[in-house]
Structure 1
Amino acid sequence: MKAKRLTVVSNRLAIVVDKGGEGQWQVRPGSGGLVTALGPVLRDRGGQWIGWLGSNLREMLDQDTLNGLLEQGSRETGYSLKPVELSQEEIQKYYFGFSNEILWPLFHDLPSRCNFDPSYWRVYDQVNAKFAEVVAANTSEEEDYAWIHDYQLILVADHLKKMGVERRTGFFLHIPFPPLDGFIRLPWRFQILRALLQYDLVGFQTVRDRRNFMDCVRTLIPESRFVGHGHVLRCLTPERDILIGTFPISIDFKQFAEFASTKEVQDEAWIIHANLPDRQLILGVDRLDYTKGIPLRLQAFANALERYPDLRRKTSLIQVVVPSREEVPEYEALKSEIERLVGEINGRFTEVGWTPIHYIYRSLNRIELMAYYRTCEIALITPLKDGMNLVAKEFCACSIENNGVLILSDFAGAAAQLHHGALMVNPFDIEGMADVIHRACTMTVAERQRRMEKLRRSIQRYDIFRWVNAFLQAAVNQDLEEFPQAELFVPKPTPTEI
């Protein structure tokens, strides 16, 4: 039975509602990686998006005003928006609590940062039930395929089944899945694992993540077994069969490459060049998070300046940190550590007319970020662990002169695809990173072009639409083109929220 409509379910809706400069409520598109990836997929295809609006607007707006803003958002995005309302306690314990104080650090191999508060689990379960109710109310078994996304919503399919609601469902995990010795630390490991097995298809970013999941299932649910080969396997349990696949997420390569060539981006890139002349620019762009490895990266850059004096005055690092969870003490401490390191390194190495690190702590708009992608010759992307890291792919897509160098962590999901063209580093190896920074800065033009051409070909071939088609083919034996499509409006791409 063919699905006629694709319903995406994620923690956040694809829009942001807030007050503009004149105090008027306004709607703007979301800037998260999922919106970047799936916006072009749902647009003008009759699709819909279910998610939380990101704030408790019900207390500030009447229903008519909220409905009007949602209608405006639907017109601008090109697909229907269905909100899930959360209370303040639910936001704190489901989102900040279970999702970001338990699952996020645990799935990134940092169990010492977990806070296994039992009340978090109860509210996480409660909120997933809320999402399941909204899915049930806005979809049908005959029409819809419900594609649920990421670690905040693992229990949705389980709650649909408990409600007696039959839906075709798929789940995609955007972050890594931990190895067995990490996962078993989770007090609710059986509930999480069995909930994942209630989906018809579970997708992971990499073969490593799928292997970790399979190890957990074999150990904790020993009556299960796996059959098949390739990027989609079948998991056989006593109750049902489930498909388990690897689907590395990507970007809309064509849109990024074309927008990077526009005059407005070129003009902004020229200003950056003019302000930082006669030097190679290294770019780091990250959301404020302890998984991104920013302090170690700064130490590696300092080590490179110390051990390779030829880099001084000829190289600058532009480190952009996008604010995130500033109200959490751990993140505020990380911000302070980054700022201390930047000040210490600049104080040590700065000379007249040259500052080694240019630190930016704010979000960049679309044109600014594209301009930095265009201007900087080297991207330094060194997470301690990442599900994929779309920034690496965006940088390559925007390197339209094929003159960029990508330095990439071994522990980014993107490494599985990009390791042939990137310079790979272990983010815990400060001197090793420093050596690779020097190698990138002294690389010949011919080698840069050869490597970047290889990277761009791969990303262009395995773009966002191939990712969607691979998942939908495995899920419902359909390509994207088989869903209803109206005349397409193609907007400017929205870069990933780092």
Structure 2
Amino acid sequence: MTRLIIVSNRVAPISEGGPAAGGLAVGVYDALRETGGMWFGWSGDIVDDHAPPPTMTVEPHGPVTFATIGLSRRDYEQYYRGFSNATLWPTLHYRSDLTEFDREEYEGYKRVNGWLAEQLLPLLRPDDVIWAHDYHLIPFAAALRAAGVRNRIGFFLHTPFPAAQVLATIPPHADLMRALCSYDLVGLQTAPDLRAFVDYIQHEAGGTAQADGSIAAYGRTLRAQAFPIGIHPDEVAALAEYGSDSDVLRTLHRTLVDTRLIVSVDRLDYSKGLVERFKAFDVLLARFPEERQRVSFLQIAPPTRADVDAYQNIRDALESEAGRINGRYGEMHWTPIRYIHRQYERPVLASVFRAAHVGYVTPLRDGMNLVAKEYVAAQDPADPGVLVLSRFAGAAQQMNGALIVNPLDVEGMAEALAQALHMPLAERQARYEDMMAMLRRDNVSAWRDAFLQALNPA
């Protein structure tokens, strides 16, 4: 029987009651636990360069086997902290102004991909289907091919795929795209991402693309297609009900009293538009003074990549903005912005979504953004909240019931917040029902099945 092998930079075992994970971890785990198979990648451990080499750990957990291995300090610095997150991440999110490039880090990136491929080889069976995830693993299939692997290998990019001229700002962009074309199938989140990929193939690589998704480039034939990642909406709804009885939620309700709640949950990242979001809330309170003491904004921003300077800068900016706004508008009995820099368990977050009158999801760029989908899924059908969503999140391509905003237009976002806070019940219900129908149809199982069908039609 064909076995599914998921490969991602970080293997993050999660549970229904465990700490909330990022969109990749949630999506991959939800897809894999239904089919069974293996999840392979970095354990998160960093081994001193002078210590013995890291060794593989293989542990079955129900239908999923987790195969993990640590990284040396040198590999972590060059492959992960360096090229992946200082070069690829900002460029993929259209932040070339933050992109840093170092040749040694790029060599380390390729070296670690080759080393990870070597670690996977002894675990492979001839009929395994391999599905690699995200920008950390662009050269992974090329390394497997060089080792003689002929299995079907697919790749899914969870981030945006940038315009060709943006991608070309990375010096080895041609080598990266040649390596990416070693996969049999390249999956992108949205139709605009697919168009950007095809544009690069045609105008930078000199390749061809057919209407059926067939790509010919660098001497290979592959497929490229958009597969918007989904969630299990009914499970999120169940988590929201379960978490509503937690001490955290009871305390939140006591402190809100008659105050309406706007909620955002994001990793602390410059791509999420957090500073612009805070400024728009400031504009809301300035332009609509009747909202003062009647609405609170809860921003949950768990730490991420704290050892990268750009992330410390965004944290400092947010703390400054929150302090300025609270100092300007706050009262002894009312705090306009509640800014929390920590993680919460998944049921707690789902129940916070359910309690919130507005979901505020306004990234500057995002591949999909599953928080937007989880916010809607967590709502009470009888009295649902309203989603305010950036046009530059992949989810905006599907979620027609959201109020779509430009995250650089802080006044426009403030107006959307005011509209959301006063939207009539019938309109809120109609928007909710439209989005829930889509979430149930295009759920994470449908995403997985569509990708695997395209990867392995037989």
Q: Deviations over 1:149-198 (max 9, x none)?
A: 00000001111122222221000000011101101111111111111111
Please state how far the C-alpha of 1:264 moved relative to its aligned partner.
5.1
- How far has the Cα of 1:267 moved from its partner? 6.4
Does 2:116 correspond to 1:118?
A: no
1:392-415: per-residue Cα shift (whole Å, max 9, x none)? 001111003351100000100101
Alignment equivalent of 2:200, drawn from 192, 205, 216: 216
Return the alpha-carbon distance in structure 1 between the equivalents of residues 51 and 173 of structure 2. Answer: 39
Deviation per CA, 1:205-236: give whole Å up to 9, x if none: 001111111111112221x211124xxx1112
Q: May I ask how many residue pairs the two structures share in their alignment?
A: 454
Aligned-partner Cα distance in 1 for 2:23–2:265? 14
Paired letter, 2:43: L
| Residue in structure 2 matched with residue 408 of structure 1 by the alignment | 389
Could you tell me which of 168, 183, 188 is aligned with 2:152? 168
Q: Verify: 1:280 aligned to 2:260, yes or no.
A: yes
Q: Does 1:449 align with 2:429?
A: yes
Flag structure 2 segments of 5+ consecutive residues without an equivalent: none
Q: CA deviation at 1:15?
A: 3.1
Percent pairwise identity: 39
Q: Is the 8 A contact 1:269 1:374 kept in 2?
A: no
Q: Distance in 1 between matches of 2:401 and 2:307?
A: 39
Describe how 1:41-56 pairs up with structure 2 within 5 A.
Answer: 41-43=31-33, 45-56=35-46
- Find out whether 1:399 has 2:379 as its counterpart: yes
Equivalent position to 1:9, from 7, 20, 45? 7
- The whole-number CA distance in structure 2 between the counterparts of 1:12 and 1:185 is 27
Work out the CA distance in 1 between the residues paired with 2:374 and 2:334: 28
**Correspondence 1:228 to 2:211:** yes
* Alpha-carbon contact 2:178-2:218 (below 8 Å) kept: no
Q: Which residue of 1 aligns with 2:320?
A: 340
Q: How does 1:9-408 map to 2 (within 5 A)?
A: 9-15=7-13, 31-43=21-33, 45-56=35-46, 67=57, 70-71=58-59, 74-75=60-61, 78-141=63-126, 143-222=127-206, 224-229=207-212, 233-237=213-217, 239-262=219-242, 265=245, 268-401=248-381, 402-408=383-389
Q: Alignment RMSD, CA only?
A: 2.3
Q: What is the one-letter code of the residue matched to 1:6?
A: L
Q: Aligned-pair distance for 1:63?
A: 11
Cα offsets for 1:217-261 (capped at 9, x unmatched):
112221x211124xxx11123623101110000111121112222
- Give 1:12's aligned amino acid: R
Once the two structures are overlaid, the 10-residue window that deviates more, 402-411 or 327-336, is 327-336
Name stretches of at least 5 consecutive residues in structure 1 with no aligned partner: 17-27, 479-498
The 4+ residue runs of structure 1 with deviation greater than 4 A are: 57-67, 263-268
Is 2:273–2:362's contact at 8 Å kept on the other side of the alignment? yes
User: Residue deviations 1:317-355, cap 9 Å, x none?
Assistant: 001111112222221121111011101000000124221
Distance 1:4 1:58, change over 3 A: farther
Q: Is the 8 A contact 1:260 1:400 kept in 2?
A: no
In structure 1, distance between residues paired with 2:152 and 2:266? 35
Give me the TM-score of the superposition, normalised by structure 1. Answer: 0.87
| Equivalent residue, structure 2, for 1:487 | none
